[in-house]
């Protein structure tokens, strides 16, 4: 590889270190249906990156494939220098990736407090319970309630709050603003900005690119199970027409 040979060694190491998550040629299947056809992208340490795209483009499947939650996947997913494509999802979580599903996944047989404590701590450095309550004061008031008795917004806060405890450094958030009132969306936005300053790396799936533009550094557009484009947030304004075309809005 002549290119690599001409590059100074420390540069190669620097880029290697910068990408916390590197996805190459990711393909995934649900039974007979082939959803992802070779997804390539990366997320650098400390970045907030969104996956944009129409319904059914493969955004959620990409997150679930990273997490090891699809029945079959191929390609390469390197997290923090470690190949995870062959690992079961519990081992992937233990490396320091946490997942907040689109449907929020709040457990009805657990109280709010039990839901919050459910994900095991995988490494040191996670937020304490009080820090999470400070981010989402509603959860403190409703700690004894049944998990699914919360409002949609509170459930979303609980779903995000409980993965902040675990010490995971990469958060996969699937449509955290879906179906929520504007004031709650703003609160989620502030939370994501705050988490970024705390050093979390965040990969976000969004339909709402206006929201995405307020929090993200870069956007990948997913189409038909592939990455169609990458748009830095600074260029979003100039590429708005193209984005509208991608998203069909």
Partner 1 sequence: MEIFGIPTQALFGQLLIGLINGAFYAMLSLGLAVIFGLLNIINFTHGAQYMMGAFCAWFLLERTGIGYWWALIIVPIVVGITGVVIERTMLARLYKLDHLYGLLLTFGLALIIQGVFTNAYGSSGQPYRLPQEFVGAYNLGFMFLPKYRAWVIVLSLVVCLGTWFVIERTKLGSYLRAATENPTLVQAFGVNVPRMITLTYGFGVGLAALAGVMAAPIYQVSPQMGANLIIVVFAVVVIGGMGSIMGAILTGFGLGVMEGLTKVFYAEASNTVIFVIMVIVLLVKPAGLFGRER
Residues engaged in binding partner 1 (CB under 8 A): 67-69, 88-90, 92-94, 98-99, 101, 105, 107-110, 114, 117-120, 122, 163, 166
Nearer to partner 1, 39 or 66 (CB): 66
What's the closest the beta carbon of residue 22 comes to partner 1, in angstroms? 20
What's the closest the beta carbon of residue 136 comes to partner 1, in angstroms? 19
Residue 48 tokens, joined:
């907030």
Nearer to partner 1, 43 or 106 (CB): 106
Nearer to partner 1, 68 or 225 (CB): 68
Nearer to partner 1, 66 or 216 (CB): 66
DSSP bridge pairs for 49: 203, 218
What's the closest the beta carbon of residue 201 comes to partner 1, in angstroms? 17
What's the closest the beta carbon of residue 236 comes to partner 1, in angstroms? 31
What's the closest the beta carbon of residue 137 comes to partner 1, in angstroms? 23
What is the spatial distance between Cα 246 and Cα 249, in angstroms, rounded to a whole number?
Answer: 8
What's the closest the beta carbon of residue 121 comes to partner 1, in angstroms? 9
120 class by beta-carbon count within 10 Å (0-12 exposed, 13-18 middle, 19+ buried) = exposed
What is the spatial distance between Cα 48 and Cα 220, in angstroms, rounded to a whole number?
Answer: 11
Residue 78 tokens, joined:
């390197």
Nearer to partner 1, 159 or 213 (CB): 159
Nearer to partner 1, 172 or 227 (CB): 172
Q: How many CB atoms lie within 10 A of CB 40?
A: 15
Half-sphere exposure of 247 (CA within 13 A, CB side): 19
What are the start-end ranges of the E strands in the chain? 19-30, 33-44, 48-52, 72-79, 82-83, 97-100, 170-174, 201-206, 218-223, 226-232
* C-alpha pair distances (Å), 109 with each of 52, 106, 133, 149: 33, 9, 21, 11
What's the closest the beta carbon of residue 209 comes to partner 1, in angstroms? 26
Nearer to partner 1, 93 or 203 (CB): 93
Cβ atoms of residues 46 and 202 within 8 Å: no
Q: In what order do the strands lie in the sheet with 48-52?
A: 97-100, 170-174, 201-206, 48-52, 218-223, 226-232
């Amino acid at each position: 590889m002549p290119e690599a040979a001409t590059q100074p060694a420390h540069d190669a190491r620097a880029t290697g270190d910068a990408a916390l998550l590197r996805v190459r040629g990711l393909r995934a299947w649900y039974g007979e249906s082939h959803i992802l056809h070779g997804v390539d992208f990366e997320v650098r340490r400390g970045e907030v990156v969104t996956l944009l795209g129409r319904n059914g483009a493969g955004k959620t499947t990409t997150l679930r494939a990273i997490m090891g939650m699809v029945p079959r996947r191929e390609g390469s997913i390197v997290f923090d220098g470690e190949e995870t494509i062959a690992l079961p999802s519990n081992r992937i979580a233990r490396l320091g990736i946490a997942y907040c599903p689109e449907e929020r996944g709040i457990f009805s047989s657990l109280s709010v407090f039990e839901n919050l404590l459910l994900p095991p701590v995988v490494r040191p450095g996670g937020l304490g319970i009080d820090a999470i309550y400070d981010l989402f004061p509603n959860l403190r008031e409703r700690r004894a309630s049944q998990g699914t008795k919360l409002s949609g917004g509170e459930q979303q806060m609980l779903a995000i709050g409980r993965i902040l405890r675990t010490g995971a450094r990469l958060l996969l958030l699937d449509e955290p603003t879906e179906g929520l009132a504007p004031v709650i969306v703003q609160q989620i936005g502030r939370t994501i900005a705050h988490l970024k300053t705390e050093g979390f790396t965040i990969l976000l799936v969004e339909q709402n690119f206006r929201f995405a533009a307020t929090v993200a550094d870069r956007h990948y557009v997913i189409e038909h199970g592939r990455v169609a484009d990458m748009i830095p947030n600074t260029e979003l304004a100039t590429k708005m027409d193209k984005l509208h075309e991608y998203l069909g809005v």
